[in-house]
Amino acid sequence: MSPATGQEAHIRREKKGRGGKTVTVVYGLRLPPDRLKALGKHLRQVCGTGGTVKDGAIEIQGDHRERVAEALQQAGYRTKFTGG
């Protein structure tokens, strides 16, 4: 992963509209699609789960907010938890 430019990544947990399944969503990053996809792959590997990139946001299956925040901070991003 190349170093981040101090961007703030917002992290939230979603359950609504997903058939009762929990998803960790990372949004607010201003990255080109290829870098966003690469970061999504890295986060999936860190969490050991599936995920995708949709509409400029990274979705990771399950509640992995702490692991995602730690991985993003190590990559140079600032993190902020939003929502419930």
Strands, sheet with 78-81, edge to edge from the N-terminal-most edge strand = 51-54, 57-61, 23-27, 8-14, 78-81
Neighbour count for residue 55 (Cβ, 10 Å): 6
Pairing mode of beta strands 57-61, 8-14: unpaired
Q: What pLDDT, on the 0 to 100 scale, is given for residue 5?
A: 67
Convert the pLDDT of each residue in 13-42 to its tens digit: 999 888 889 999 999 999 999 999 999 999
| CATH code linked to domain 8-77 | 3.30.780.10
For the chain, the residue count is 84
Q: What is the mean pLDDT of the chain?
A: 92
Q: And the tokens for 9?
A: 């990544």
